[in-house]
Amino acid sequence: MAESVYKVVELVGTSTESWETAARSAVELASKSLRDLRVAEVSELDMLLEEGKVRTYRAKVKVSFKYEGGS
């Protein structure tokens, strides 16, 4: 088996519905411009509040993909 190298990028997805939807939107958008996504790890969850109510869920997601760098 040949060795592989993977690059990791950190994204923040947002949603007015849930953390799950926020994380999913980050991965789905990343998949449109990054090829061969392998793993997504939710590293942090938080919320934006307004007048004591949750307005936006935010999920910080680390996404890895196979690195195909040139020489």
Tokens of 62: 């680390």
Domain ranges in the chain? 6-66
Q: Which one of 3.40.50.300, 3.90.700.10, 2.40.50.700, 3.30.1660.10 gives the CATH number of domain 6-66? A: 3.30.1660.10
pTM over 0.85: no
Instruction: Give the pLDDT score at 70.
Output: 59
Residues 6+ apart with CB under 8 A from 53: none
Positions of the chain with pLDDT under 50: none
